[in-house]
Amino acid sequence: MTEKHILTSEEISAIVDGLNPIDWRQMELLAKMPPGKRIYPSLQASSMIRAGLRTAFKRKFPQLSIPEINMKILDYLIFMDKNYEHA
């Protein structure tokens, strides 16, 4: 594991400059939602990603069953998390 170092303000500015602007309307909508429902947009996005992966894997591996496709998706997400620290 590599050692962590504290970012300088210039490094932070360079990272922030590369981000999309904040959607203040979206932030307001999320802030007005009850805490238990704030996770819904994230769950919906995750579901869309899995559906896209499922479609791609069905096209690439037409001979596999749905449970086998789901295992490939799980394997892919684990690989992404290990190698890129996110899925």
pLDDT tens figures, 37-48 = 989 988 999 999
Closest-CA residue to 77 (of 7, 22, 34, 69):
69
- Domain span at residue 59? 9-84
Domain count, the chain: 1
Q: 37 in a domain, yes or no?
A: yes
Q: 14 in a domain, yes or no?
A: yes
What confidence tier does 87 reach under pLDDT thresholds 50, 70, 90? low
Indicate if the pLDDT at residue 2 is higher than 90.
Answer: no
Q: 3 in a domain, yes or no?
A: no
pTM: 0.59
Q: 2 in a domain, yes or no?
A: no
Q: 38 in a domain, yes or no?
A: yes
Q: 4 in a domain, yes or no?
A: no
